[in-house]
């Protein structure tokens, strides 16, 4: 084990963590499949173009960058928390950002680091938690907190830790699932049992978070969730798109109050 990995493990062990062991085990078991576009993470591969465009455009608006430039995010330090296999970290690095990809599952980090090396990308991947990064005094211009908060043991503590990692003018992207009957029908019954896009048990409906709850969590963490958008899948076009409907999947951006 490398010195950096030992340090990361020590950091995880030395601070209070919001990691849910059952969720950690679930995604560790799927780690090898991250970059298979037809595998267990197929929905995220389909979702990626929509969320990447949203992230790029909001970051460029925040930091006065040209979204049409080849590398508009050059000079920005970005944290992809709960990065998994790096499906967001890699395109952010290609857009010029200095990316730290953090995940509590070491198997995910190994997969992500190997794939990045194969692509010739320099990404700082770490098996570490948000709380440990806070303890290390880290700070970022932007944080990607995408499809993570519904999988942690204490969403409020996790939100607070992520807020503490933000520089004064930083923004944080959030994406999660609304706790509605429609979300249960589409995201769990439909996606996991009927279409089998995801392994059964990937999501727990009781852990889904309403937009108001997310807004309140952000406020408690000293943040303002200042914009939100729904995201819907169109089976006829086989594509995701932004909508005004927040009843299932939705994304938002938070800044320091």
What is d(CA 200, CA 189) in angstroms, rounded to the nearest whole number?
9
Confidence at residue 109, expressed as pLDDT on a 0 to 100 scale? 96
* 167 phi and psi angles, rounded to 5 deg: -65, 165
Segments forming the whole domain that contains residue 148: 3-256
Q: How many domains does the chain have?
A: 1
User: Can you read off the two tokens belonging to residue 165?
Assistant: 């990692």
Cα Rg, the chain, nearest whole Å: 17
Confidence at residue 86, expressed as pLDDT on a 0 to 100 scale? 97
Query: pLDDT tens per residue, the chain (257 residues)?
Result: 334 333 344 444 445 578 888 777 766 766 678 999 988 888 889 999 999 999 999 999 999 999 999 999 999 999 999 999 999 999 999 999 999 999 999 999 999 999 999 999 999 999 999 999 999 999 999 999 999 999 999 999 999 999 999 999 999 999 999 999 999 888 888 766 665 666 677 778 889 999 999 999 999 999 999 999 999 988 888 899 999 999 999 999 999 98
Q: Which residues contact 237 (CB under 8 A, 6 or more apart)?
A: none
CA-to-CA separations, 41 to 107, 194, 245, in angstroms, rounded = 15, 16, 23
What is d(CA 6, CA 138) in angstroms, rounded to the nearest whole number?
18
Confidence at residue 195, expressed as pLDDT on a 0 to 100 scale? 59
The DSSP code sequence of 19-81 is: --HHHHHHHHHTGGGTT-TTSTTHHHHHHHHHHHHHHHHHHHHHTT--TTSSSTTTT-EEEEE
Q: What angle do CA 121, 174, 72 make, to 5 degrees?
A: 40
Single out the residue of 102, 93, 111 nearest to residue 148, CA to CA. 102
Q: What residue spans of 127-242 are helical by DSSP H?
A: 130-135, 155-164, 181-183, 211-220
Confidence at residue 6, expressed as pLDDT on a 0 to 100 scale? 39
Q: Give the burial string for 197-211 (b: 16+ CB within 10 Å, else e).
A: bbeeebbebebbbbb
pTM for this prediction:
0.86
Confidence at residue 1, expressed as pLDDT on a 0 to 100 scale? 38
What CATH code is carried by the domain that includes residue 118? 3.40.50.150
Confidence at residue 153, expressed as pLDDT on a 0 to 100 scale? 93
β-strand pairing of 223-234 with 239-243: antiparallel
Q: Which residues contact 140 (CB under 8 A, 6 or more apart)?
A: 77, 78, 79, 100, 165, 166, 167, 170
Confidence at residue 14, expressed as pLDDT on a 0 to 100 scale? 41
What is d(CA 161, CA 107) in angstroms, rounded to the nearest whole number?
23
């Amino acid at each position: 084990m490398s010195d950096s990995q030992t340090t990361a493990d020590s950091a995880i062990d030395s601070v209070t963590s919001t990691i849910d062991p059952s969720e950690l085990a679930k995604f560790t078991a799927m780690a090898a499949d991250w970059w298979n576009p037809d595998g267990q993470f197929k929905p995220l591969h389909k979702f990626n173009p929509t969320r990447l465009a949203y992230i790029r455009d909001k970051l460029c608006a925040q930091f006065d960058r040209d979204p049409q430039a080849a590398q508009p995010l050059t000079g920005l330090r970005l944290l992809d928390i709960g990065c998994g296999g790096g499906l967001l970290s890699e395109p952010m690095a290609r857009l010029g950002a200095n990316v730290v990809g953090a995940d509590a599952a070491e198997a995910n980090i190994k997969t992500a680091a190997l794939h990045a090396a194969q692509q010739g990308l320099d990404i700082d991947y770490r098996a570490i938690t948000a709380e440990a990064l806070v303890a290390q005094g880290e700070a970022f211009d932007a944080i990607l907190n995408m499809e993570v908060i519904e999988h942690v043991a204490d969403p409020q503590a996790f939100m607070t830790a992520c807020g503490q990692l933000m520089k004064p003018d930083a923004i944080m992207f959030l994406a999660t699932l609304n706790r509605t009957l429609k979300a249960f029908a589409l995201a769990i019954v439909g996606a996991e049992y009927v279409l089998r896009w995801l392994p059964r048990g990937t999501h727990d409906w009781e852990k889904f978070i309403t937009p108001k709850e997310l807004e309140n969590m952000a406020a408690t963490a000293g943040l303002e969730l200042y914009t939100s958008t729904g995201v819907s899948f169109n089976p006829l076009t086989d594509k995701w798109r932004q909508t005004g409907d927040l009843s299932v999947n939705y994304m938002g951006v938070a800044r320091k109050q």
